[in-house]
Amino acid sequence: MTESALLEARGLTKHFPVRSGVVHAVDDVDLEVRAAGITAVVGESGSGKSTLARLLARLIEPTSGELLLDGQAGKAAPARARRKYARAVQLVLQDPFSSLNPVHDVRYHLARPLKVHKLAGGSLDEAIDGLLARVSLTPSANFSAKYPHELSGGQRQRVAIARALAVAPRLLLADEPVSMLDVSIRLGVLNLLADLREKDGLAIVYVTHDIASARYLADVVAVMYAGRIIESGPAATITSQPAHPYTELLLSAAPDPGRSNRVPVRGRTPPPNPVTPPPGCRFHPRCPHAMAVCASDVPAMTQISPGHHSACWLHASTAGKEA
């Protein structure tokens, strides 16, 4: 199974020390990204999804666990290894208003990675034109001399994506790439990501809070809650037959104009404090099905159907006995 994995996270954990203890931002996350696959990581704010994206980009070092690129663990060493990793895995950030440098034009933003990675080869201008064309900013002559403030939000995000594509990565990490954009242009950017996968075989990790857009774009959806992945599986299965009570909650709360009746939302317990997460299953204080075992032991990922896993005692083979 691991043969075809482009990037694999094993037991990835990130704790941030704070005065009152440690923030359990990401705990024991296993994730597998296949070549030319789109994996969506869905979660609420504070679920650790952005920290996970940063870990996958190696912007921050994990507290424990490992990241395997093409089955090989990268050495925590120096610039050369980092640069090699960056050639394969690139990150696009949420806010194109702050991720582009306001004092430089588009050409500078795209030339930079080409120069740093010594990829310009023949003609720099040709390479830049090619990149702009790939993100549908054509004719490129209209855009390369523009400054970020002269572009709309959607165009800026396209420039940010083009910059990430400059090194010809095999995996693009997109952290909430459309949440800052106007509603009418979000789909354009999502479709661009879909096209990049379709045409160029780019693998994508799409981090989002919007489960409907995850269903639209991704093949595989992983749902995070309080730092852990609690369910993962094919996008269609997750949204039509969720196995974890939290996924059910998330789906029932999502806006759905086709819904005829009002949705009951159970409990008013807020998501847990990441410094002192509840023991056992982190969702148990909010869970309508919580059992004794949920408060004491962390449920392991259990297979529901091929490719569909959920970490819930309801699905564990021992659930019958414990309940």
Q: Is 252 a residue that touches another protein (CB under 8 A)? A: yes
Q: How far apart are CB 216 and another protein at their closest, in Å?
A: 4
User: Which among 225, 228, 235, 213 has a CA at the least distance from the CA of 37?
Assistant: 235
Q: Is 208 a residue that touches another protein (CB under 8 A)? A: no
Q: Is 182 a residue that touches another protein (CB under 8 A)? A: yes
**Which residue has 């994990």 as its token pair?**
62
| DSSP summary character for residue 275 | S
Q: Is 45 a residue that touches another protein (CB under 8 A)? A: yes
191, 248, 289, 297: which one contacts another protein (CB under 8 A)? 191
Q: How far apart are CB 26 and another protein at their closest, in Å?
A: 18
Q: Is 310 a residue that touches another protein (CB under 8 A)? A: no
* SS3 state at 231: strand
CB count in 10 Å sphere of residue 126: 12
Residues 115-174 that bind another protein (CB under 8 A): 152-155
What number of chain residues touch another protein (CB under 8 A)? 43
Helices then strands, each counted (H, E), the chain: 11, 12
C-alpha gyration radius of the chain: 21
| N-to-C CA span, the chain | 33
Q: How far apart are CB 314 and another protein at their closest, in Å?
A: 20
Q: Is 254 a residue that touches another protein (CB under 8 A)? A: yes
Q: Which two tokens stand for residue 45?
A: 């704010």
Q: How far apart are CB 42 and another protein at their closest, in Å?
A: 10
Residues whose CB falls within 8 Å of the CB of residue 98, separated by 6 or more in sequence, listed in order = none
- Distances in whole angstroms, Cα of residue 130 to Cα of each of 30, 155, 219, 261, 286: 36, 16, 28, 50, 50
Choices 10-18, 24-32, 111-119, 177-185; region in contact with another protein by CB under 8 A = 177-185
78, 102, 121, 255: which one contacts another protein (CB under 8 A)? 255
Q: Which C-beta is closer to another protein: that of 190 or that of 293?
A: 190
Q: How far apart are CB 312 and another protein at their closest, in Å?
A: 17
Q: Is 253 a residue that touches another protein (CB under 8 A)? A: yes
Q: How far apart are CB 152 and another protein at their closest, in Å?
A: 4
Choices 105-113, 137-145, 164-172, 246-254; region in contact with another protein by CB under 8 A = 246-254
Q: Where are the alpha helices (DSSP H) in the chain?
A: 49-56, 79-88, 106-116, 124-134, 141-144, 153-165, 183-200, 211-217, 235-240, 245-253, 319-322
Q: How far apart are CB 20 and another protein at their closest, in Å?
A: 14
Q: Which C-beta is closer to another protein: that of 272 or that of 280?
A: 272
**106-116 helix and 153-165 helix, angle to the nearest 10 degrees:** 20
Query: What does the binding site for another protein look like in residue numbers (CB under 8 A)?
Result: 44-45, 152-155, 182-188, 191, 194, 209, 211-213, 215-216, 235-236, 239-240, 249-259, 262-265, 268, 270-271
